[in-house]
């Protein structure tokens, strides 16, 4: 089985976020980038298929050279090969078209992407890849088993879970539950050394015009000052909640 895992290169949630060019551009200075968490859950699940069923795992990213350390980490975790499509990830539709080309050329049986990325939370790329490649698609995946040419998938739905069956090729929008956080793998020294020898192929992008563009970014409003009220002064607390906070 050939598996392709789509990897987004996203800022660590502990990074301090700033914008430049009159709040029109994300400032990457001093920002630590990581594998998108939803993608890492899918990558970890692909390692199970590699170890139990002999699957070959390739990771792919759309981005510039700055994303290669993230791909190398995926290789250190255990992926067999990596592909970088050499163009900035400008919007979901253009990214999906670039990835769809990789999927069509690679003959993959299973394509695992995160349900959404941590930075823009668009949640559109996996479904668009499925539409562009005419492949089966299951989103919000929290369980995945593959036997031969068929898969059994459990996904979250409003108010519960749904288990469905599908034939390969199949595209998955994965999330926490497809593996748990305790299952995530930290690259060891052997994995890091081996990652340096694994192939990382750089592909030139196909000609795709972006469909959307970011007009402006804005940070959430700063938190207001905190008022401390003595536990002995319940009347003052009630007054503040009623007259200022207006929650009672």
Residues 196/79, Cβ–Cβ less than 8 Å: no
Mean pLDDT for the chain overall: 92
What is the per-residue pLDDT for 131? 95
pLDDT at 221 over 90: no
**pLDDT (average), residues 176-205:** 93
pLDDT for the residue numbered 30: 87
C-alpha 57/C-alpha 46 separation (Å) is 7
Q: What is the model's pLDDT at position 245?
A: 81
Position 103 scores a pLDDT of: 96
- Residue 15 is predicted with a pLDDT of 86
Q: What is the pLDDT of residue 109?
A: 96
User: Which one of 54-58, 120-124, 185-189, 215-219 scores highest in mean pLDDT?
Assistant: 54-58
Query: pLDDT value at position 246?
Result: 85
Domain extents for the chain?
A: 2-216
* pLDDT confidence of residue 150: 93
The residues with which 102 forms a beta bridge, in sequence order, are none
What is d(CA 141, CA 154) in angstroms, rounded to the nearest whole number? Answer: 6
pLDDT at residue 25 greater than cutoff 90 = no
User: Tokens standing for 235?
Assistant: 């009347």
Look up the CATH architecture of domain 2-216. 3-Layer(aba) Sandwich (3.40)
**By the 8 A CB rule, do 212 and 101 touch?**
no
> Each residue of 105-145: pLDDT tens digit?
999 999 999 999 988 888 999 999 999 999 999 999 999 99
What would the DSSP string read from start to end of the chain? -EEEEE--EEE-TTSPPEEETTTTEEE-TT--EEE-HHHHHHHHHHHHHHHHH--EEEEEEES-GGGHHHHHHHHHHT-SEEEEESS----HHHHHHHHHHHHHHHT-SEEEEESS-TTT----HHHHHHHHHT-EEEEEEEEEEEETTEEEEEEEETTEEEEEEEESSEEEEE-TTSS-GGG-----HHHHHHHTTS-EEEEPPP----S-------PPPPPPPPPP--TT-HHHHHHHHHHTS---
pLDDT surpasses 90 at 13: no
Pairing of strands 200-203, 170-174: unpaired
Per-residue pLDDT, 4: 98
pLDDT at 24 over 90: no
39-97 pLDDT per residue, tens? 999 999 999 999 999 999 999 999 999 999 999 999 999 999 999 999 999 889 999 99
pTM for the full predicted model:
0.86
């Amino acid at each position: 089985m050939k598996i392709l895992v789509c990897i987004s290169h996203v800022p660590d949630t502990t990074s301090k976020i700033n914008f430049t060019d009159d709040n029109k551009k994300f400032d990457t200075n001093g920002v630590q980038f990581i594998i998108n968490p939803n993608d890492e859950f899918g990558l970890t699940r692909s390692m199970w298929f590699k170890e139990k069923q002999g699957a070959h795992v390739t990771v792919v990213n759309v981005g510039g050279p700055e994303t290669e350390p993230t791909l190398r980490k995926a290789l250190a975790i255990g992926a067999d090969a990596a592909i970088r499509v050499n163009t900035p990830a400008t919007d979901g539709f253009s990214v999906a078209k670039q990835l769809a080309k990789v999927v069509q050329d690679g003959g993959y049986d299973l394509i695992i992407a995160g349900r959404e990325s941590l930075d823009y939370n668009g949640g559109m790329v996996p479904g668009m890849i499925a539409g562009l490649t005419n492949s089966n698609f299951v989103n919000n995946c929290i369980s995945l088993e593959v036997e031969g040419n068929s898969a059994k998938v459990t996904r979250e739905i409003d108010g519960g879970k749904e288990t469905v069956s599908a034939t390969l090729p199949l595209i998955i929008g994965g999330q926490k539950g497809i593996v748990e956080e305790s299952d995530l793998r930290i690259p060891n020294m052997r994995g890091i050394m081996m990652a340096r020898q694994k192939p990382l192929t750089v592909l030139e992008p196909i000609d795709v015009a972006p469909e959307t563009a970011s007009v402006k970014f804005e940070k959430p409003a700063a938190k207001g000052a905190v008022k401390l009220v003595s536990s002995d002064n319940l009347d003052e607390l009630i007054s503040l909640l009623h007259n200022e906070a207006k929650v009672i």
